[in-house]
Chains A and B, each alone.
Chain A
Amino acid sequence: MTSKKLIMFAMIFLAGILMTNLSSAAGVNATVCCEKTITNLYCQNVPANQCSPNSKQVPTACESTSYCKPGTCFDSNEGICLDNTPQLVCNANKGIWNENHPQQCELGCCVLGDQAAFVSLVRCKKLSSFLGLQTNFNKEIKDEVQCIQSVRNEDKGACVYEFEGEKTCKIITRKECNENVNKTDVVGEFFKGKLCSAEELGTKCGPTKQTTCIPGREEVYFVDSCGNPSNIYDATKLNDKDYWSNIKDKTKSCNPKSTNANSASCGNCNYLEGSFCRKSGNGNARASYGNYVCADLNCKNTENGKSYKHGESWCVYDDKGQLGVGKNAVGSRFYKHICINGEEVLEQCADFRQEECIESSIKTSVTFSQAGCRVNRWRECTSQSSKLDCENTDKRDCLWTYGSEEVPVTEAAKGQASLPQFIACIPKNAPGIKFWEGEEAKSICSQGNSQCIATCEKGLFSDKKCKADGCVDDKGNADPFWTASKLGICTSLGDCGDNINWIGTAGYKQSYTINSKSKKSG
């Protein structure tokens, strides 16, 4: 072998070693689709070193793999479909995986006695079996509202039939009475609008002093001696023959315009107004008859001093700092409060002010407050250069501002680009940053850096006179308004510059510097 060939061979060998090392170094941190991570999570796009040693890993996104491709998982036992389920997770859990939405997951209207559910056929069969009903599924009905409406007009009344030699009765729909009573093939005689305790029906069922709650209904109901629910509980109607004979509408029952919360004599609860049928005791009042009352679900004197109805939600931002002007305190956060069953439940919006709480109210005869946590769209603010784009609320949550209220801007100049050196587009609610780790905080806050070039002249017999776009005074000293504006803008970019924390304590060191450099010419 010649020396030339030897050198060539050595070079190829070294290059090979180098390439192997480089690729293995890159391989450690390259993102792979990992079948199972070291933390036992399935089908995650993670760096290769987070992948479990014995699991499959491919240097591509999981969507592109055969084993981790997300799709719809159908649980044939319950009739439930779940989207975004990886194939291997679905198969491992005895589900049926499909890349697209399978036929079995198509929804339709499932009639369950006098109620309805908008579910798949298999789910409908399951629900019907729980209630001992025949499956009644209508796939022609394509939306939930129409489905629920379809059972609203069903006739309801007393279904009289013979059972073990006795004339008995059940309150059901006409259809159920004509098809199957009590999960049997017995066909009964239907009396629309009648109660089983009506004397003229001659059944064994009669009035009692007992009451009950019915699933899916808000009111307290009397119960007859056969266990059938009768009319809404009204203590004054205990011995009223007509009240125990005919089905009465809610509007014709006791105090229909009241919530009847904690009423001992009336069970006409109103869920929308904040009362619901519950067992008496345990903080609820006691009824004159029976063990159920209309419990009060509304919240009184909440954390902000106001009272709210059951189901209402509202925003709370009680940390220090200001809202909507880019002056949020470090560590502050938005909260949504909800009134549920007389209890004030708190829900945080995402930390680092990545979500903000928005609130609105529905106004009918009363006001119903609704709040929600929504993503803080601050990311594009600093790249906007016009007021129109900056304040486009369809796209972003930004503010076209001078940075500080101290800037002496006339009303006419406000909103105009007449003082461009001061104006900037900043987030309405400054996002939080992990300023204590990594380099990203620096890159975000550095967008607040500002430079002002002033030209100063000193004549032979005159004082120094400087010219700049408002950033320095005549004598070359930094203009306090310019400084205030830039500091305001800096703070609004995130947890940058001088700020206070969520309990109002100021930072212990100055978070900005003003440097001046001079260069002589001429």
Chain B
Amino acid sequence: MGKRGQLTILVIIALIIVAAVIVIMLYPRISVLINPKVSPSSYLKSCIEPVVKSNIEILSKQGGYFAPQGNLDYKNQSIKYICYTAENYRTCLVQQPRIKGHFEDELNNALAPKAEACAENLKKEYEKRGYSVSLSEIHSNTSIVPGKINIEFSMPMKIKKESTQTFSKFDIEVDSKIYDLLMISTSIIDFESTYGDSETTLYMQYYPDLKIEKIKLSEGSRIYIVSDVVTKESFTFATRSMVWPPGYGFQQ
């Protein structure tokens, strides 16, 4: 091979390297150009899923409240009293009878602005790809069901390029065992308010994936950490019921 041939090869290699660098640097934009199709469901799921998980984590550590009132402070964590009595020798009075319902409400309120932002971003994504998009009012609704969290995006959307596509809503599912944990917690509260305590070992024997930790504090409060050993999700709440004080309990 002559010198000219070698030079040509070197130029080709240099061009390939430069092209590769450009591709790496501009990948997100290029991906839009080379991948004209976007699945709205996948886009919304990838947008909302991390937010769902981070919000669930916060709520789970605080008894299902973002800002718990009527709470116990334990190791820099504010935990809601779901059942409480200030007295000794008495069973507790339920402070939140709809544990799952309230968790859902809190999650719904937290996700609504993010869901709206995700929908707006989806619109922009389509517009970048040359679509004309009309998007009406966006509503989202979160529901917790066994094995998952459903987020319903009610967002009438029409996209138009060569053809027109119309969507009314998108249903996004995020895997989670939080429903089961909330139901077990409700059952524990039922025991606490009726009998003054709960027997956690029976729950754990009955449900193989379940782990319940019960921390008893000196002043009578109990912290329950209900978790799934497979998914590692957990739900923490506090109670104060049927307290046996030190001594005869004459002094408060």
The residues of A with any CB-CB pair to B shorter than 8 Å are: 37, 39-46, 50, 62, 70, 73, 75, 77-78, 80, 82-86, 89-90, 93-95, 130, 218, 271, 276, 278-279, 297, 310-311, 313, 338, 340-341, 343, 345, 347-352, 354-355, 370, 372, 375-376, 379, 431-434, 437-441, 444, 494
Interface hits, B203-227 → A, CB 8 Å? 204-205, 208, 211, 213-218, 220
* B2 close to chain A: CB less than 8 A: no
B189 near A82 with CB under 8 A, answer yes
- State how many angstroms separate the Cβ of B211 from the closest Cβ of chain A: 5
Measured CA separation A284–B85 after assembly (Å): 44
Q: In the complex the two chains form, is B92's CB within 8 Å of A84's CB? A: yes
The docked-state distance in angstroms from the alpha carbon of A43 to that of B189 is 17
Q: Could you name 5 residue pairs across A and B whose Cβ atoms are closer than 8 Å?
A: A40-B70, A40-B71, A41-B81, A83-B194, A351-B218
Number of B residues, CB within 8 Å of A: 50
Known contacts A82-B97, A440-B247, A444-B247: A338-B84 contact under CB 8 Å: no
Complex: chain B residue closest to A279, CB-CB: B230
Min Cβ gap A136→B in Å is 18
A432 pairs with B87, CB closer than 8 A: no
A84-B194, A90-B94, A494-B247 are known; give 5 further A-B pairs, CB within 8 A. A82-B190, A93-B97, A94-B101, A354-B246, A440-B248
| Interfacial chain B residues near A83, Cβ < 8 Å | 94, 190, 193-194
Q: Could you say which residues of chain A place their CB within 8 Å of the CB of B98?
A: 75, 77-78, 93-95
Is A432's CB under 8 angstroms from B194's CB?
no
Dominant SS at the A interface? mixed
Nearest-Cβ distance from residue B163 to partner chain A, whole angstroms: 27
Most buried by B among A82, A218, A271: A82
Q: What sequence of 0s and 1s flags, for each residue 84-103 of chain B, a beta carbon within 8 Å of any chain A beta carbon? A: 11110001111111101110
Contacting pair B70 A85 (CB below 8 A): no
A84-B194, A347-B213, A351-B218 known; A438 vs B201 contact (CB < 8 Å): no
In the bound complex, how far is the Cα of B96 from the Cα of A86, in angstroms? 10
Contact A44 B194 (CB under 8 A): no
A44 to B81, CA, bound (A): 13
Report if B8 contacts A (CB, 8 A): no
Q: Are A351 and B97 in contact (CB under 8 A)?
A: no
Residues of B within 8 A of A431 (CB): 246-247
Determine how close the nearest CB of chain A comes to the CB of B223; give it in whole angstroms: 11
Q: Does B134 contact A (CB under 8 A)?
A: no
Choose one: A37, A39, A84; the contact of B91 (CB below 8 Å).
A84
B190 nearest CB neighbor, chain A only: A82
Please encode chain B, from 222 to 252, with 1 for each CB lying within 8 Å of some chain A CB and 0 for all others: 0000000110000000000000111110110
Decide yes or no whether B200 CB sits under 8 A from chain A: yes
Q: Judging by beta carbons under 8 Å apart, are A41 and B70 in contact?
A: yes
Whether B95 contacts A82 by the Cβ 8 Å rule is no
Partner of B216, one of A41, A50, A276, A349: A349
* B146 on the A face (CB < 8 A): yes
Give Cα distance in the complex from A90 to B244, angstroms: 27
Bound-state Cα–Cα, A369 to B97, Å: 35
Q: How far is the CA of A73 from the CA of B213 in the complex (A)?
A: 27
A313 lies within 8 A of B201 (CB): yes
Which residues from A are CB-within-8-Å of B102?
93
In the bound complex, residues from chain B placing their C-beta under 8 Å from that of A348 are 214-216
A95 and B97 contact, CB distance less than 8 A? yes
Known contacts A438-B251, A439-B251: A345-B213 contact under CB 8 Å: yes
Q: Are A440 and B218 in contact (CB under 8 A)?
A: no
Q: A82-B189, A83-B193 are in contact. Are A45 and B204 (CB under 8 A)?
A: no
Question: A355–B213 Cα gap in the complex (Å)?
Answer: 17
Give which listed residue, A78, A90, A341, A349, contacts B211 with CB less than 8 A. A341
- Which residues of the partner chain A approach B248 to less than 8 Å between Cβ atoms? 379, 440, 444
A375 CA to B245 CA in the complex, in Å? 11
Contact B216 A351 (CB under 8 A): yes
Q: Closest A residue to B241 by CB, please name it.
A: A84
Whether the Cβ atoms of A45 and B250 lie closer than 8 Å is no
Would A89 and B211 count as touching, CB distance under 8 A?
Answer: no
Q: Point out the residues of chain A lying under 8 angstroms from B189, CB to CB.
A: 82
For residue B217, give the distance in angstroms from its CB to the closest CB of chain A.
7
**Chain A residues near B95 (CB, 8 Å)?**
41-42, 89
Task: Indicate whether A43 sits within 8 Å of B93 (C-beta atoms), given known contacts A94-B101, A350-B216.
Answer: yes
5 cross-chain pairs, A with B, having the tightest CB-CB distances, nearest first:
A40-B69, A354-B244, A84-B193, A352-B246, A40-B70
Q: Which residue of A lies closest to B204 (CB)?
A: A340
A250 to B101, alpha carbons, bound, how many Å?
Answer: 40
Shortest Cβ gap from B6 to chain A (Å): 51
* CB pair A372 B94 closer than 8 Å: no
Closest B residue by C-beta to A37: B86
Alpha-carbon distance between A386 and B218 when the two chains are bound, in angstroms: 34
Contact indicator A75/B101 (Cβ below 8 Å): yes
Pair A311/B204 contact, Cβ less than 8 Å: yes
Q: Which residues of A contact B146 (CB under 8 A)?
A: 130
CA distance A50 to B229 in the complex (A): 41
Docked Cα-Cα span, A78 to B144, in Å, equals 11
List of A residues within 8 angstroms of B69 by Cβ: 40
Q: Could you tell me the distance between the alpha carbons of A34 and B48 in the complex, rounded to whole angstroms?
A: 42
- Residues in A with CB closer than 8 Å to B93 are 42-44, 62, 70, 84-86, 89
Query: In the bound complex, what is the Cα–Cα distance between A26 and B20 (angstroms)?
Result: 84
In the complex with contacts A355-B244, A431-B246, A432-B246, A440-B251 CB distance below 8 A: yes
Chain A residues in 8 Å Cβ range of B91: 84
A278/B86 in contact, CB under 8 A: no
Q: Complex formed: what's the CA distance from A347 to B81 in Å?
A: 19
With contacts A93-B101, A94-B101 taken as known, whether A276 is within 8 angstroms of B94 at the C-beta atoms is no
Is B199 part of the contact surface with A, judged by Cβ < 8 Å? yes
Contacts of B17 in A (CB 8 A): none
Query: Which residues from B are CB-within-8-Å of A355?
Result: 244
Judging by beta carbons under 8 Å apart, are B193 and A85 in contact?
A: yes
Give Cα A281 to B193, complex, Å.
41
A93-B96, A370-B201, A431-B247 known; A41+B84 contact, CB < 8 A: yes
Q: Are B205 and A311 in contact (CB under 8 A)?
A: yes
Q: What is the distance, in angstroms, from A332's C-beta to the closest C-beta of chain B?
A: 13
Interchain CB contact under 8 A, A73 and B94: yes
Query: In the complex, are the beta carbons of A218 and B186 less than 8 A apart?
Result: no
B145 within 8 A of A: yes
Closest to A376 in B: B244
- Of B186, B194, B246, the residue contacting A80 (CB under 8 A) is B186
Most buried by A among B71, B84, B229, B247: B247
Q: How far is the CA of A80 from the CA of B189 in the complex (A)?
A: 12
Beyond A84-B193, A84-B194, is A345–B211 a contact (Cβ under 8 Å)? yes
